[in-house]
Amino acid sequence: MTPGRESHSSAVDAVVVGAGSAGLYMSHRLRGLGLSVRVIEAGSGVGGTWYWNRYPDARCDTESMQYSYSFSPDLQQDWHWTEKFAGQPEILKYANYVADRFDLRRDITFNTFVTSAVYDEDDDQWAIRTGTGEDIRARFCIMATGCLSNARVPDFIGRDGFKGTTYHTGHWPHEGVDFSGKRVAVIGTGSSGIQCIPEIVKQAAQVYVFQRTPNYSIPARNHPMTPEHEQSWKSNYDERREMQRRSRTGNVNNLNDVSAMSVSEEDRQSQYTARWATGGTTFMASFNDLVTNKASNDTAAEFVRQRIGEIVRDPAVAARLTPRDYPIGTKRICADTHYFETFNRDNVTLIDIREDPIQEIVTSGVVAAGKTYEVDSIVFATGFDAMTGALLKVDIRGRGGESLRVKWEAGPRTYLGLATAGFPNLFIITGPGSPSVLSNMIVSIEQHVDWLTDCIGHMRARQLHVIEPVREAEDAWVEHVNKTANRTLYPSAASWYMGANIPGKPRVFMPYIGGVGRYRQECAEIAAKGYEGFRLAASSRAGAFQSED
């Protein structure tokens, strides 16, 4: 280790890729260990997801009091959230505040993309190359690149010939977009589409919504933060944070810990009605078996279907908006503000493209089912190459030049979602194989960063410089992740959790669904056993890479 090195030198102890929530906290903790750090960020500012996703009404579906760092008691007391569910501008402001308060910017290089990371076994260093032509050598390479950061526009025929303006929700212009008087096509009805459509229709003359799969969405019922709610959290943060860490999803969501099948029809309906009235995705915490028991799931799904039928006036439109062929929650459930109500407006047309996919994009608009919808703008709310996309955009090469892209051709393989065999000292924050997108991301980020900080501290105390998962441990973890997923209803849906939104991507359930609390315990036990399943060594040279166990 080389504490005290110039943070902008081309050799540092650790390179962190990404300055979102994970990269910021990771760099803070590494600095606390006395390591020199470079954070390389593609954007011109901090915030990751909240830097890029600036579409109208982009908003977190986790409550603000819970979607925030817990590492600093002062920070969590000082910061004031103005709404129950914070919008993108406020979360971005928070990320900037954290960067300033902890003086993190001096280690961040903005507007720079990491193109490759190659492990040099001769001196156990990563050689990291950037798009600006810089080479940085580092002992540790930490990918804090996010799970939903590789925005994707499908390869529609004629896409680039469109004469109007195009936008992707995940790459929204910083100055905003004025749709006043415009005819707009929105393609995609996931969380992003569901959030931005009700806002776009308020401005636009006409909006055509192209829907491939109808989604289950619960009213968010967002409202200004009440002093009582804020105070109840701030007075009990220690205890509540602990509850988050031990929970299944990283949230205090008042899980009703009984099966939906164990109560009467009347009690079930009153539970769903109460959750619907409260709003938000904690609807899925109505019972403890909604994602494991199809019969239970059916009752929740049917409840939502009926609400859609009540909200949408035209029965034919309501029918098209109603999801029927996959269990509720197995594609990411959405939280909305008047999404279904939007389809009662005169200036909105829903086009069901499941049966008749978009044929092509022409200079004047979008063609589906033989009809051309002439528009001035197209909004692609078409999602991301999730979980692996941002990692594999970087050409990562481990021992013997092994390519991560090749290693993961049949799906990601990790140990704990944190590391992958053959790639020493490479870590992934909230990588595939960890709870990540099935959890409150900030809770999972803090858990990974804290675990990793302890691990690096452990290595330093013992003069160990190399750590890498053992293949057998990785194989066992991958099997455990798959088995756990297969005990749920999740694999039955064509979701981005399964890679199903990307043509040709292997269908593998990527996140670990064992639960945040259980996963935390598994990681802690592995650390307590001297990092069981990892090999640690002073160096890889001349066969010296041997287990310490």
Which residues of this chain interact with ligand NA7, rule CB under 6 A?
148, 154, 169, 187-193, 212-213, 332, 353, 358, 381-384, 496, 501
By beta-carbon proximity to ligand NA7, the closer residue of 98 and 187 is: 187
Q: CA-to-CA distance for 338 and 23, rounded, in angstroms? A: 34
For residue 382, the minimal CB distance to ligand NA7 (Å) is 4
For residue 299, the minimal CB distance to ligand NA7 (Å) is 23
By beta-carbon proximity to ligand NA7, the closer residue of 168 and 268 is: 168
For residue 516, the minimal CB distance to ligand NA7 (Å) is 16
By beta-carbon proximity to ligand NA7, the closer residue of 368 and 394 is: 368
For residue 501, the minimal CB distance to ligand NA7 (Å) is 4
By beta-carbon proximity to ligand NA7, the closer residue of 150 and 206 is: 150
Q: What is the DSSP string of 284-322?
A: GGSSTTTTT-HHHHHHHHHHHHHHHHHH-SSHHHHHHH-
Q: Would the CA dihedral through 92, 59, 156, 368 be positive or negative?
A: negative
Q: CA-to-CA distance for 540 and 424, rounded, in angstroms? A: 9
For residue 323, the minimal CB distance to ligand NA7 (Å) is 10
End-to-end CA distance of the chain: 23
Amino acid found at 240: R
By beta-carbon proximity to ligand NA7, the closer residue of 117 and 148 is: 148
Residue with the two structure tokens 């999740």 = 490
For residue 28, the minimal CB distance to ligand NA7 (Å) is 25
Q: Report DSSP state, residue 82.
A: -
Bridge partners for 428 per DSSP: 143
For residue 288, count other CB atoms closer than 10 A to its CB.
17
User: CB under 8 Å to 217, separation ≥6 — which residues?
Assistant: 194, 304, 333, 334, 335, 336, 339, 340
For the CA atoms of 362, 368, 371, 377, the dihedral, rounded to the nearest 10 degrees, stands at -50
Residue with the two structure tokens 């709404």 = 83
Three-class SS of residue 220?
coil
Residue nearest to ligand NA7 (CB): 190
Q: CA-to-CA distance for 328 and 63, rounded, in angstroms? A: 21
By beta-carbon proximity to ligand NA7, the closer residue of 136 and 312 is: 312
For residue 57, the minimal CB distance to ligand NA7 (Å) is 13
* Bridge pairing between strands 377-380 and 395-397: unpaired
By beta-carbon proximity to ligand NA7, the closer residue of 35 and 445 is: 445
By beta-carbon proximity to ligand NA7, the closer residue of 353 and 516 is: 353
By beta-carbon proximity to ligand NA7, the closer residue of 438 and 466 is: 438
By beta-carbon proximity to ligand NA7, the closer residue of 154 and 309 is: 154
For residue 37, the minimal CB distance to ligand NA7 (Å) is 28
Amino acid found at 531: Y
CA distances from 106 to 27, 62, 143, 453 (A): 11, 30, 19, 20
For residue 148, the minimal CB distance to ligand NA7 (Å) is 5
Q: CA-to-CA distance for 348 and 204, rounded, in angstroms? A: 9
For residue 353, the minimal CB distance to ligand NA7 (Å) is 6
3-state SS, 6-30, equals CCCCCEEEEEEECCCHHHHHHHHHH
Residue 214 structure tokens: 């109808």
The number of angstroms, rounded, from the C-alpha of 525 to the middle of its chain's C-alpha atoms is 26
